[in-house]
């Protein structure tokens, strides 16, 4: 076996260096190397010296240490040992620590490995790395061992963050050299202790199996197993949940117990009702050990029902009536519940079942005949209190079984710890299917507090909660963090609704955004915010942390310490405690541990196990990844399921989330590992941006938008050369469907119809804002006495000036000025102001409002402001659906087009406006007396005729009128002939037909409906379904209506419908020479903010800038393999019915170009085109621009290898992988040109030939070769 074959065999399975996983801070600064001695006792030192093979012992210690810290079976580190290897330098050491290995066999494996490394087998580290799967961009290993090193080894040790140095074989002393910028002194001190423990265990044979060796020192074990678990507190361990309530009935009988809407019950009244129902349930077979299903609307009956079931001795099983039928059937069958307590309005929601039905509303007359005294059901604290179903990883729900004792301990701890009692009021938000509701009901009523039951949280929300809180003086809040965040958002927007009585906020069940406590305290300075952690399987809450200090700059909110009479352990896979700062699985113990899962013995045995540290007790394996801090506080890192391996690197997603949350632009985030088109895992960041984030670079975006459009206009207008008709410059008018220029006849119809609409008002003096190359100006000006054209593009104005001279249009005046600039223009001077087809390029709606406010001042009374070619926000989804359905390949999947549509909507960079905005303007600009909103004319089926409209504002006009009489569209009566009859009857009066279907967009809205609800899988199937549905569409082609109007002596105006909906229109026929003006009547909400009528066209650009900043932020803090390849900006996170984050509902990352700060710039030559294609193929991205960076597009070391391999094959050039890895496409092209010049290869010619061949068919290629 050759040396290379030997090392390839050893290293081929390693795809990443073995990380030293401990709570560290990654730094880019120059290493600050410090040293610490390992404290070895004399006996261990003597054993090590007498072993005769100190190198083998040290390798065994370090291999096992690395394995425990990294949780990897196979570990890799470097070794320099002068006695073993004649060459000075590092040799890779590969150690396998598979489970079940005996200590003897483990030590033998080290001996065998080191004995195989002969001098002739030692090759360079670079050669070794090339034989592994570890990328060139990473080091081969992170830690090294130096045993009796020579002097020249000093520089080598400084290159690594961690090295263990052993000197003097006769009396060994061991020192750890570490980078203090990365590792804390406390972490290294513990590590030194672990080296000592392992040395003692391995040399003295204290354990037969490696798995049985505990890494921790005796002091550490005492601390993590006992000191931090000293939680014993007395509590009423002989009382059940309902009995705590009954004690409060004796003390506070007349105090209010429950409030729902306008109804309330005292403790005595609630007790009486619950007792009556409990006695009734006993007659139906209720009692200890029995399960009663309960499904009730939120309200008094819900509280009465829960308390009654507990009093009867039975356990309750909550069923949410909104659950799917199959889930309800499963839960009823799984529990075999003999009784279903519900109400008549919900009965029809339930599928067939065998349970007796008790209708609490209809049967209350019978129920109320039963006794009102307390029930003696002989229930004990060890009997079941409830069974709550949680989602199972297999899709099958699992029922967690809890007794009374754990929950009583839990509730008493809360009430004692925070002095909750009479005078406190809690707002009950949680569904009874969520175990947080158990405290809301039983915990609140166990201490004399008052429960205010909120109506369905799914339909109300923060506005209603805040009203309830103010009305009732709520003092205690208990929910998942997402609901509190909704309340804080609302209170920040409306401080007058801030719940100032709130004194205690208990948050659990999900991650708490780090800034949330500070935001809440800014509103209510005295509030106490508490983090709770735990699991449904362990009485919900097992850990607690008071968030007293400002938290916004924290990585995450601590999970805290164990609550009273509860235990927490962080253990490895062998149930050994892990060191402080090292991640392991969180296990929960104590009185809160549940009974297991109903009818799931195997799963219960797997998750509920014997406590290895306390005989006779059990602990629950949570599946959560956690670690202890120096002070004993737990930090939750995420689910073990969320700890992923990508390209060989073990990654804790929680660590990336923590890093991302530290950026001020991030309000909240989630990181997921997703499969790409090649089925390779990649990291995707879902970011909820902080809308309050301010940054000078981001704030400049509006100014950049204006400059960008000026540059675009100058570039487009300068391309107009050799025009046959120089007054008809339509360069840059391209279709979104085909990306090709619009046909001339289409553009002439568009121009002429726009000119006709303006000239209908016979203006003598006109001001056109943004006149461009004069498409309208050169046609309207000949009919005017004065025409001023303004624009921000000097190129456009120069073109118009040339035409002015040629045509002798001396009445034209041209000025370079921006749209909002009316300085020096005389008030009430113009008959008309025109703003055509540029509103979409405005930076925001405030800017348009400013332009309109200025324009109306220069318009004469009776004049008009024409705003043409406005994109309709109401039809944004329809527009992108229409375009993408046109472009999509027939074989593409429906899911792909859905993603593309959603993505295109989110990155929209033009401003779209709801027509109602112009009607709403009348409230703030009194000069506007009327508004006409009309659809565009044209036979062509394109974006201008389908999704744009023209607006005419009538300024101080005395002839505007609304139509009082109209006809509602009726498909069976109003075909062309039917309309002709109506026109004949109208004679010389206007005819208005309301709400005629807009046939132009019918197909697009059908497609939207099918995409939302249909079962089609391919675009081909989708198109067939749309075509089939179109057969049922009604309406008339608008151009046929225009022809009918002309034929019957009328003029036609196609107005936007009253219902503010682009799917229908109001057809207005006006007699010829009609002198009045018919306005468009759209009802508007006068309380609605004006800026809400449009999208934010800068949002996409702002988000691109933020994404760029987030990438750089993570680049500075994390290794490259931990930086997400895709960032998806979210407006809100999807939540489950319980208010938790619904990860499954997060959108998939698509194959569109990601959000980058750089605007897209297409390849400019054949070389760039070829490189763009290579990147596109390797990165699975549809579009790659010249200024795009490889890493920013999601590139990594593996895809870099693929790219370089493709370039080598195509251009026959040898390139190192590092080429292009940190480059933009433009920089890669320059690097390639430089390498090619040295070997006299013309890469541009090669690229051109390649593209020519790529575009040829197989037959054409064969013909060329022959």
DSSP string for 1089-1157: -GGGGB--TTHHHHHHHHHHHHHHHHHTTS-GGGS-SEEEE-SS--B-TTSSB-GGGSPPP-SSPP--S
Residue 371 forms part of a structural domain: yes
Q: Do 1205 and 1108 lie in a common domain?
A: no
Rounded Cα distance, 1266 and 1007, in Å: 49
What does the pLDDT read at residue 709? 53
CB 702 within 8 A of CB 843: yes
Task: Please give the DSSP secondary-structure letter assigned to residue 954.
Answer: E
Please give the span between the terminal C-alpha atoms of the chain, in angstroms, as a whole number.
48
State the CATH number of the domain containing residue 1200: 1.10.1200.10
Rounded Cα distance, 713 and 172, in Å: 77
> What band does 680 get if pLDDT is binned at 50, 70 and 90?
low
User: Is 23's pLDDT higher than 60?
Assistant: no
> What band does 554 get if pLDDT is binned at 50, 70 and 90?
confident
Please write the tens of the pLDDT for every residue from 76-117: 999 988 778 766 678 999 998 888 889 999 999 999 999 998
> What band does 1180 get if pLDDT is binned at 50, 70 and 90?
low
Q: Which structure tokens are listed for 887?
A: 């472009």
| Strand partners of residue 284 | none
Q: Do 1200 and 1103 lie in a common domain?
A: no
SS3 letters across 1149-1171: CCCCCCCCCCCCCCCCCHHHHHH
Q: Identify the three-state secondary structure at position 769.
A: strand
Least confident of 238-247, 621-630, 913-922, 1145-1154: 1145-1154
User: Is 230's pLDDT higher than 60?
Assistant: yes
User: Is 641's pLDDT higher than 90?
Assistant: no
- Which residue is listed with tokens 């009867």? 312
Residue 352 forms part of a structural domain: yes
Q: Do 296 and 190 lie in a common domain?
A: no
Rounded Cα distance, 812 and 1134, in Å: 56
User: Is 459's pLDDT higher than 50?
Assistant: no
User: Is 706's pLDDT higher than 60?
Assistant: no
State the CATH number of the domain containing residue 385: 3.40.50.12780
| Mean pLDDT confidence for 1152-1168 | 69
What does the pLDDT read at residue 61? 95
Q: Do 290 and 363 lie in a common domain?
A: yes
Q: Do 1106 and 1221 lie in a common domain?
A: no
Q: What are phi and psi of 578, to 5 degrees?
A: -100, 160
Q: What are phi and psi of 827, to 5 degrees?
A: -65, 145
- Which residue is listed with tokens 């005769």? 52
What does the pLDDT read at residue 711? 58
Rounded Cα distance, 250 and 447, in Å: 12
What does the pLDDT read at residue 237? 95
> What band does 118 get if pLDDT is binned at 50, 70 and 90?
confident
User: Is 424's pLDDT higher than 90?
Assistant: yes
Please say whether the dihedral angle defined by the alpha carbons of residues 730, 733, 737 and 740, taken in this order, is positive or negative: positive
| Strand partners of residue 832 | 766, 864
Q: Which residue, 427, 460, 493, sits at the end of a domain?
A: 460
What does the pLDDT read at residue 151? 60
Q: Which structure tokens are listed for 598?
A: 């109903």
Residue 891 forms part of a structural domain: no
What does the pLDDT read at residue 25? 54
**Nearest alpha carbon to residue 303 among 441, 397, 170:** 441
Q: Which structure tokens are listed for 876?
A: 């944004």
User: Is 579's pLDDT higher than 60?
Assistant: yes
Count CB-CB contacts under 10 A for residue 658: 20
What does the pLDDT read at residue 703? 59
CA angle 344/346/349 to nearest 5° reads 130
Residue 807 forms part of a structural domain: yes
| Mean pLDDT confidence for 161-166 | 91
Q: Do 102 and 177 lie in a common domain?
A: yes
Q: Do 654 and 801 lie in a common domain?
A: no
User: Is 460's pLDDT higher than 60?
Assistant: no
Residue 766 forms part of a structural domain: yes
Angle between helices 894-906 and 1019-1030 (to 10 degrees): 80
State the CATH number of the domain containing residue 780: 3.40.50.150
Please say whether the dihedral angle defined by the alpha carbons of residues 37, 42, 47 and 53, taken in this order, is positive or negative: positive
Q: Which residue, 764, 784, 817, sits at the end of a domain?
A: 817
Q: Which structure tokens are listed for 881?
A: 């659906």
What does the pLDDT read at residue 602? 93
Rounded Cα distance, 1226 and 3, in Å: 41
Cβ neighbors of 1042 (< 8 A, separation 6 or more) are: 937, 1052
Rounded Cα distance, 112 and 93, in Å: 12
Least confident of 104-113, 339-348, 1110-1119, 1232-1241: 1110-1119
Residue 491 forms part of a structural domain: no
| Mean pLDDT confidence for 825-835 | 96
What does the pLDDT read at residue 691? 77
| Mean pLDDT confidence for 29-45 | 86
Q: Which residue, 783, 817, 851, sits at the end of a domain?
A: 817
CB 1213 within 8 A of CB 1241: yes
Least confident of 75-79, 1109-1113, 1139-1143: 1139-1143
Classify residue 349 as left (phi > 0), alpha (psi -120 to 50) or beta: alpha
| Mean pLDDT confidence for 719-740 | 76
| Mean pLDDT confidence for 676-705 | 71
Q: Do 28 and 156 lie in a common domain?
A: yes
Report the percentage of the chain scoring pLDDT > 70.
90
Rounded Cα distance, 592 and 542, in Å: 7
State the CATH number of the domain containing residue 156: 3.30.559.30
Domain that holds residue 354: 241-460
| CA of residue 382 relative to chain centroid, distance | 43
State the CATH number of the domain containing residue 690: 3.30.300.30
pTM: 0.68
User: Is 148's pLDDT higher than 90?
Assistant: no
Q: Do 732 and 766 lie in a common domain?
A: yes
| Mean pLDDT confidence for 585-608 | 95
User: Is 198's pLDDT higher than 60?
Assistant: yes
| Strand partners of residue 540 | none
Rounded Cα distance, 1031 and 478, in Å: 54
User: Is 308's pLDDT higher than 90?
Assistant: yes
Q: Which structure tokens are listed for 1249?
A: 């030939």
Residue 909 forms part of a structural domain: no
Please write the tens of the pLDDT for every residue from 999-1013: 999 999 999 999 988
CB 1176 within 8 A of CB 1170: no
Classify residue 100 as left (phi > 0), alpha (psi -120 to 50) or beta: left
Q: How many domains are there within the chain?
A: 5
CB 425 within 8 A of CB 449: yes
Rounded Cα distance, 1243 and 1208, in Å: 11
Q: Do 779 and 661 lie in a common domain?
A: no
CA angle 1134/433/482 to nearest 5° reads 30
Q: Do 366 and 263 lie in a common domain?
A: yes
> What band does 1023 get if pLDDT is binned at 50, 70 and 90?
very high
Q: Do 1126 and 1203 lie in a common domain?
A: no
Residue 709 forms part of a structural domain: no
- Cα dist from 144 to 63, 70, 159, whole Å: 11, 15, 10
User: Is 5's pLDDT higher than 50?
Assistant: yes
């Amino acid at each position: 076996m050759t040396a290379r074959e030997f090392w390839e065999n050893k290293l081929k399975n390693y795809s990443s260096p073995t990380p030293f996983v401990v709570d560290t801070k990654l730094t880019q600064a120059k290493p600050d190397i410090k040293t610490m001695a390992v404290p070895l006792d004399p006996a261990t030192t003597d054993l090590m010296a007498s072993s005769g093979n100190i190198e083998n012992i040290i390798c065994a210690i370090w291999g096992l240490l690395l394995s425990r810290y990294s949780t990897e079976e196979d570990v890799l580190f470097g070794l320099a040992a002068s006695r073993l290897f004649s060459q000075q330098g590092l040799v890779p050491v590969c150690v396998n620590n598979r489970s079940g290995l005996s200590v003897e066999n483990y030590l033998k494996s080290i001996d065998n490995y080191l004995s195989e490394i002969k001098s002739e087998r030692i090759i360079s580290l670079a050669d070794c790395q090339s034989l592994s799967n570890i990328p060139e961009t990473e080091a081969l290993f992170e830690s090294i061992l130096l045993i009796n090193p020579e002097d020249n080894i000093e520089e080598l040790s400084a290159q690594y963050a961690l090295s263990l140095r052993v000197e003097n074989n006769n009396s060994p002393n061991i020192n750890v050299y570490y980078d203090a910028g990365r590792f804390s002194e406390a972490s290294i001190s513990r590590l030194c202790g672990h080296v000592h423990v392992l040395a003692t265990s391995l040399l003295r044979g204290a354990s037969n199996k490696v798995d049985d060796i505990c890494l921790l020192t005796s002091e550490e074990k005492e601390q993590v197993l006992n000191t931090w678990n000293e939680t014993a507190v007395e509590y009423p361990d002989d009382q059940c949940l309902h009995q705590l309530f009954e004690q409060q009935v004796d003390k506070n009988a007349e105090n209010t117990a429950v409030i729902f809407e306008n109804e309330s019950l005292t403790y005595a009244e609630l007790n009486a009702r619950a007792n009556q129902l409990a006695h009734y349930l006993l007659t139906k077979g209720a009692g200890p050990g029995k399960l009663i299903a309960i499904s009730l609307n939120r309200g008094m009956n819900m509280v009465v029902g829960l308390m009654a079931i507990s009093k009867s001795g039975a356990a309750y099983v909550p069923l949410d009536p909104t659950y799917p039928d199959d889930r309800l059937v499963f839960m009823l069958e799984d529990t075999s519940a003999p009784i279903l307590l519900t109400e008549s309005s919900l009965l029809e929601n339930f599928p067939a079942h065998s349970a007796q039905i008790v209708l609490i509303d209809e049967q209350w007359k019978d129920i109320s005949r039963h006794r009102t005294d307390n029930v003696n059901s002989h229930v004990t604290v060890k009997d079941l209190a409830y069974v709550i179903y949680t989602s199972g990883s297999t899709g099958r729900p699992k029922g967690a079984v809890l007794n009374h004792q754990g929950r009583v301990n839990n509730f008493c701890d809360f009430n004692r710890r925070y002095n909750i009692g009479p005078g406190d009021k809690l707002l009950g938000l949680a569904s009874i299917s969520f175990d947080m509701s158990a405290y809301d009901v039983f915990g609140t009523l166990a201490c004399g507090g008052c429960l205010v039951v909120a109506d369905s949280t799914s339909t109300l929300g923060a506005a209603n909660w805040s009203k309830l809180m103010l009305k009732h003086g709520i003092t205690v809040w208990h929910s998942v963090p997402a609901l509190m965040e909704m309340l804080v958002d609302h209170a920040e927007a409306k401080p007058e609704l801030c719940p100032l009585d709130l004194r205690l906020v208990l948050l659990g069940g999900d991650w708490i955004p780090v800034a949330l406590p500070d935001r809440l305290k800014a509103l209510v300075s005295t509030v106490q915010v508490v983090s709770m952690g735990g699991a449904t399987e362990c009485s919900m809450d097992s850990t607690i942390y008071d968030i007293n200090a400002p938290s916004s700059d924290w990585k995450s909110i601590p999970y805290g310490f164990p609550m009273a009479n509860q235990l927490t352990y962080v253990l490895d896979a062998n149930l050994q405690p892990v060191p402080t700062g090292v991640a392991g699985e969180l296990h929960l113990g104590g009185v809160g541990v549940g009974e297991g899962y109903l009818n799931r013995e195997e799963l219960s045995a797997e998750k509920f196990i014997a406590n290895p540290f306390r005989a006779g007790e059990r602990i629950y394996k949570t599946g959560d990844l956690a670690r202890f801090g120096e002070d004993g506080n737990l930090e939750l890192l995420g689910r073990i399921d969320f700890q992923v391996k990508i390209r060989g690197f073990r990654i804790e997603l929680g660590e990336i989330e923590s890093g991302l949350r530290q950026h001020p632009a991030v309000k909240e985030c989630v990181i997921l590992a997703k499969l790409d088109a090649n089925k390779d895992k990649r990291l995707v960041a879902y970011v909820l941006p902080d809308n309050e984030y301010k940054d000078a670079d981001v704030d400049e975006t509006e100014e950049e938008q204006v400059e960008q459009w000026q540059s675009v206009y100058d570039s487009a207008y300068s391309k107009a050369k050799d025009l046959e008709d120089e007054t008809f410059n339509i360069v840059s008018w391209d279709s979104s469907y085909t990306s090709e220029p619009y046909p001339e006849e289409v553009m002439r119809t568009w121009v002429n119809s726009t000119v006709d609409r303006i000239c209908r008002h016979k203006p003598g003096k006109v001001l056109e804002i943004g006149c461009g190359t004069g498409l309208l100006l050169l046609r309207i000006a000949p009919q005017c006495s004065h025409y001023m054209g303004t624009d921000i593009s000097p190129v456009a104005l120069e073109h118009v000036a040339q035409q002015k001279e040629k045509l002798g249009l001396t009445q034209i005046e041209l000025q370079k000025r921006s749209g909002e600039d009316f300085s020096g223009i005389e008030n009430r001077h113009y008959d008309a102001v025109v703003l055509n087809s540029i509103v979409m390029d405005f930076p925001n709606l405030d800017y348009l409002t400013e332009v309109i406010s200025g324009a109306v001042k220069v318009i004469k009374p009776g004049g008009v402001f024409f705003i043409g070619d406005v994109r309709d926000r109401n039809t944004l989804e329809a527009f992108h659906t229409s375009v993408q359905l046109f472009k999509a390949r027939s074989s593409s999947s429906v899911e792909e087009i859905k993603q593309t549509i959603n993505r295109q909507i989110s990155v929209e960079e033009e401003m779209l406006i709801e027509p109602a905005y112009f009607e709403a303007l009348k409230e703030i600009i009194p000069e506007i007396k009327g508004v006409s909103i009309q659809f565009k004319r044209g036979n062509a089926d394109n974006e201008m005729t389908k999704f744009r409209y023209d607006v005419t504002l009538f300024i101080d006009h005395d002839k505007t009128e609304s139509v009082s009489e109209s006809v509602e569209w009726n498909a069976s009566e109003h075909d062309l002939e039917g309309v002709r009859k109506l026109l004949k009857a109208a004679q010389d009066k206007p005819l208005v037909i309301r709400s005629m279907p807009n046939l132009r967009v019918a197909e697009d809205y059908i497609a939207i409906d099918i995409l939302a609800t249909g079962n089609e899988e391919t675009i081909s199937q989708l198109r067939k379904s749309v075509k089939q549905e179109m057969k049922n569409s009604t309406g008339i082609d608008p151009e046929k209506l225009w022809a009918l109007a002309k034929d019957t002596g009328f003029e036609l105006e196609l107005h936007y419908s009253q219902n503010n909906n682009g799917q229908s229109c109001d057809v207005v026929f006006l007699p010829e020479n009609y002198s009045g003006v018919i306005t468009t009547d759209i009802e508007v909400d006068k309380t609605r903010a004006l800026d809400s009528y449009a999208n934010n066209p800068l949002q996409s650009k702002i988000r691109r800038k933020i994404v760029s900043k987030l990438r750089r932020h993570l680049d500075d803090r994390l290794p490259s393999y931990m930086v997400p390849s895709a960032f998806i900006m979210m407006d809100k996170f999807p939540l489950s019915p319980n208010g938790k984050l619904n990860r499954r509902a997060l959108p998939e990352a698509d194959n569109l170009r990601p959000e980058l700060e750089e605007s897209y710039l297409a390849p400019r030559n054949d070389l760039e085109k070829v490189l763009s294609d290579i990147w596109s193929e390797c990165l699975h991205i549809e579009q790659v621009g010249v200024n795009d960076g490889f890493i920013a597009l999601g590139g990594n070391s593996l895809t870099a290898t693929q790219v370089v391999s493709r370039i080598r094959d195509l251009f026959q050039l040898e390139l190192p992988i590092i080429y292009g890895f940190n480059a933009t496409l433009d920089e890669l092209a320059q690097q390639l040109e430089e390498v090619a010049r040295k070997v006299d290869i013309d890469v541009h010619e090669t690229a051109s030939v390649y593209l020519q061949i790529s575009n040829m068919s197989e037959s054409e290629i064969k013909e060329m070769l022959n």
